[in-house]
Amino acid sequence: MVGVQTSRPAGGLRLFGIEIRVRVSWLIIALLIAWSLAAGSFPEIYRGLPASSYWTMAILSVLGLAISIILHELAHSLVAHAFGLSIDRITLFLFGGAAELREEPKTARAELSMAVAGPALSLVLSLLLALAAGALDSRGGSAEIVGALGYLATLNLALAVFNMAPAFPMDGGRVLRALIWMGTGDLDRATRIAARLGEGFAVLLILTGLGMALLGAIAGGLWWVLMGLFLRMAARSSVFEAKARRVLKGYAASEVMEAGLKALPGDMTVDDFVDRGLYAGQHGIYPVTINGSAVGVVEAANILATPKGRWGETTLAEICAPMGQAVATERDEDANALLDRMMRDKRNRLLVLDHGKPVGVVTLHALLERLELADPFQRAGIGKP
């Protein structure tokens, strides 16, 4: 699956310059899968083996599954790079994996090529693993390895088939969006149609899961319900992203910022600021000046990091973040890139600079309000193209 990046990259294992991250949820589900295979599935299929053999097969299968998912997402990523798109991270999480884009593909051809790459690689892996399992079995190879390879061949086939379901933002949904985009020339419309179908598929999964639970398969049913809820949320998020890109297209940070930032003198104490300035401000971020020149910015975190007993003797100049380290943007930055950055870095506000001088602030709240107000006018063709 491919998604737009929404959180800050961090250090870790890298392949082809792409960071590989593993969330705790993946580790939990991996342990559950290993236990299920070792205690249930493999003893049923391969009778008469010692318990250690079943656990060996289970561990090999889980490790192979992780590698298979990474290779699936790596295929997406390498094709994306070939089309000039940046993917800094592949994340393994509860429902599999995702290669996270910094931005949407620029053309329908790029979208289609990137979406097909993952399932195609999974199909190739399935075939290769099945051939390897058959070859080892015919030569009297280890039952543990043969069993693990055969199971991984089946899993990769299932991975390819399931991901090709026409449910955006899954791979099949992205293929569908690319085809609609090619036919209409309208990415926004293609996204809305594909995402609505994705929501419908998610509801189908939820209903299937509930039906399974009613028939007694509670654990399996719960899994389908959770998967459906996740896909429904992802589809709705995709619709929001499409709306944001349409509404903010053509705007710069200076056009969506709130001006009139209140600058604070560097010799003001933290005590005075908390008493007189903290709650009077509207934006939660305050430039600090010395002799009329901005030297840094103060936010709530800077204050909370200062022991309360020292507030009366500590000045804002002493606790402010230097301007060079301030989380800020230049006034001519594209508004869409700005929103992506705020969501990716989980920032509620960004300082706007004009050649290093604070001139305003962009808040996530104000951007979301702007999207809500401007969307009906944009749909009607009124407003900035």
152: confidence class by pLDDT, cuts 50, 70, 90: very high
What average pLDDT does this structure show over 232-250? 77
> Between 249 and 122, whose confidence is greater?
122
6: confidence class by pLDDT, cuts 50, 70, 90: very low
What average pLDDT does this structure show over 365-375? 71
pLDDT at 157 over 90: yes
pLDDT at 178 over 90: yes
Listed residues 248, 278, 313: the one ending a domain: 248
pLDDT in tens, 308-342: 888 888 998 888 888 777 778 888 888 877 777 77
Span of 194-198, 207-211, 378-382 with lowest mean pLDDT: 378-382
Backbone angles phi, psi at 108, to 5 degrees: -65, -35
Span of 13-27, 45-59, 69-83, 332-346 with lowest mean pLDDT: 332-346
Q: Which of 19, 73, 111, 333 is catalytic?
A: 73
> Between 232 and 10, whose confidence is greater?
232
Kindly state whether residues 141 and 284 are assigned to the same domain: no
Contact 251, 384 (CB under 8 A): yes
Amino acid identity, position 365: H
CATH number of the domain residue 321 falls in: 3.10.580.10
Helices 143-163 and 51-82, axial angle in degrees (round to 10): 40
Kindly state whether residues 139 and 283 are assigned to the same domain: no
Kindly state whether residues 142 and 273 are assigned to the same domain: no
Domain of residue 22 covers: 2-248
Q: Any catalytic annotation for residue 73?
A: yes
The confidence score (pLDDT) of residue 13 equals 76
Kindly report whether the global pTM for this prediction surpasses the value 0.85: no
Kindly state whether residues 35 and 130 are assigned to the same domain: yes
CA distance 96 to 373: 36
* Total of domains in the chain: 2
Contact 224, 209 (CB under 8 A): yes
The confidence score (pLDDT) of residue 283 equals 66
Domain assignment present for 385 = no
Kindly state whether residues 273 and 241 are assigned to the same domain: no
Q: With H, G, I as helix, E, B as strand and everything else as coil, classify residue 354.
A: strand
> Between 104 and 107, whose confidence is greater?
107
Most confident of 23-27, 209-213, 250-254, 333-337: 209-213
Amino acid identity, position 253: A
pLDDT > 90: what percent of the chain? 19
pLDDT at 289 over 60: yes
Span of 47-61, 81-95, 358-372 with lowest mean pLDDT: 358-372
pLDDT at 28 over 80: yes
The confidence score (pLDDT) of residue 114 equals 92
pLDDT at 10 over 50: no
Q: Closest Cα to residue 27, out of 80, 57, 1, 65? A: 65
CA distance 360 to 294: 13
Kindly state whether residues 288 and 232 are assigned to the same domain: no
Kindly state whether residues 234 and 368 are assigned to the same domain: no
Span of 6-20, 140-154, 159-173 with lowest mean pLDDT: 6-20
123: confidence class by pLDDT, cuts 50, 70, 90: very high
Instruction: Map tokens 């509860």 to a residue.
Output: 94
281: confidence class by pLDDT, cuts 50, 70, 90: low
What average pLDDT does this structure show over 112-128? 94
Mean pLDDT over each residue of the chain, to the nearest integer: 82
Span of 91-95, 157-161, 181-185, 267-271 with lowest mean pLDDT: 91-95
Listed residues 248, 273, 296: the one ending a domain: 248
Domain assignment present for 384 = no
Kindly state whether residues 42 and 167 are assigned to the same domain: yes
pLDDT in tens, 62-95: 999 999 999 999 999 999 889 988 777 888 877 7
Listed residues 224, 248, 272: the one ending a domain: 248
Contact 231, 285 (CB under 8 A): no
Q: Closest Cα to residue 96, out of 152, 162, 35? A: 162
